[in-house]
Amino acid sequence: MFFPEAFINKMAKMLTEAELEKLKTALDTPLRKSIRVNTLRGTTKEVVESLESYEYVVDKMPWYKYGYFIKTAKKQAIGNTYDHYLGKIYVQEASSMLPVIALDPKEGEYILDMAAAPGSKTTQMCMHMKNTGIIVANEPSIQRISPLQDNLDRSGCINCCITRNDGRKFSHYTGMFDKVLLDAPCSGEGTFQKDIKARYVWSQNKVIENSRLQKQLLDSAIACTKKGGTIIYSTCTLSPEEDEAIIDYALNKYDNISLEKVSFEGLETSQGRTEFDGKEYNKEVKKVIKLWPQKTNIEGFFVCKMKIDE
């Protein structure tokens, strides 16, 4: 299967030859289908029983009580089940659930989802908050507002305010939010497993362009988070320029932030790199986590938990 040469060369700088071959094999292996139970609409018990009645095999994720892997010998798509129509389940990649678990949204909090569409993580936060507090679900692209609204409505989310702003403008709202989720626009290398087209549009130039925007968005997230507040910076990419380098930039620029370790029970994660391609990063970057598809059997992902010091 096709992979961009520059991408493979980059991965070869981080992985052994054997690991690189495992990565390529993993990216050419179909993803396991996964869903999240939406407890705003139903209980895990009734949803599991319903899916099993459709002859789905349902396996609970070790690291998340609302996440399940599913498979079936039938051709019926999970999106055509009543559970999906009624908003009792949300079809969501397993790795996509991790940033919200790390953010740990609580009832009554004021939270910014800086790049919200299509709403996977927004609806997940609503569920954890039991529709209390406020989520500002920001999406800069007008074409993506409608899918976001549809998913919020179907999931029964009533504590959300949708905005359409450049995420960088939230820097004007100093210390406003208890927590900020920045699932940043990225090159999407982690999605190569499910999206073959992503391999053909990938380029190193786009990685560099993304990194500039990611730094600016993280600047904005830091500015608008309260003292003592939490920021999750996440991407679905594997490039250090979009991951560890962005956190290194923030640590070197700000003296009021610190990183917290994140772990997920039953899920193998790798710590952040402290150097890449001749560049050294802040040693604290070890506290971030990266998920490699060949180790986790889910999409590649990056998660960093950041606190604003009081």
Please tell me which residue in 126, 157, 186, 236 is annotated as part of the active site: 236
pLDDT at 211 over 80: yes
pLDDT at 269 over 80: yes
User: Domains of the chain (ranges plus CATH)?
Assistant: 5-29+95-308 (3.40.50.150), 32-92 (3.30.70.1170)
Percent of the chain scored above 90 by pLDDT? 95
Residue 34 in tokens: 């996964």
Give the Å distances, CA to CA, from 277 to 12, 239, 273: 11, 11, 11
For 228-257, b where at least 16 C-beta lie within 10 A, e where not — what string? ebbbbbbbbbbbbbbbbbbbbbbbeebeeb
Average pLDDT estimate for 277-289:
96
pTM (2 decimals)? Answer: 0.97
- Measured CA to CA, the distance from residue 161 to residue 176 in angstroms comes to 15
**Is 304 a residue of the active site?**
no
Instruction: State residue 47 phi and psi, 5-degree precision.
Output: -70, -45
pLDDT of residue 85: 95
pLDDT tens-digit profile of 180-198?
999 999 999 999 999 999 9
pLDDT band at 254 (very low <50, low <70, confident <90, very high): very high
pLDDT of residue 75: 75
pLDDT tens-digit profile of 42-64?
999 999 999 999 899 999 999 99
pLDDT at 76 over 90: no
